[in-house]
Amino acid sequence: MKVSAAALVALLLVAACSSSEAHLDGVPTTCCFSYHERPIPRRLITSAYITSSSCSQPGVIMVTKKKELCTDPRAPWVQAHLKHFQTLKN
């Protein structure tokens, strides 16, 4: 009984400490569970990418020097930023 309780506690700790990343074929993929609502000035964004289709909801990750923010891909300002970064790639 004590061993199963300890295993349950360890499992709960691992689940609580795990990040919001889904793993498919051993490749970590960041998923969005909520969106940053306010527009981010383009000058602060270093890059942007779309989350994996294996995530439960779509998202666009805006990368700044300090952090990565999940944004709604349907928001007009997000679409404008994505378009900007896609033209830079081409």
Instruction: Write down all domains in the chain, each with its CATH number in brackets.
Output: 29-88 (2.40.50.40)
Per-residue pLDDT of the chain (90 residues; tens, 9 = 90+): 554 545 444 444 434 333 344 444 445 568 999 999 999 999 999 999 999 989 999 999 999 999 999 999 999 999 999 998 888 776
User: pTM of the predicted model, to two decimals?
Assistant: 0.64
Sheet strands (E) in the chain: 21-24, 27-30, 45-50, 60-64, 68-71
Predicted confidence at residue 17, as pLDDT, reads 35
Which residue has 């890059």 as its token pair? 47
62 within 8 A of 71, measured Cβ to Cβ: yes
| Dist CA 54 CA 5 (whole Å) | 33
| Dist CA 88 CA 23 (whole Å) | 29
The β-bridge partners of 64 are 45
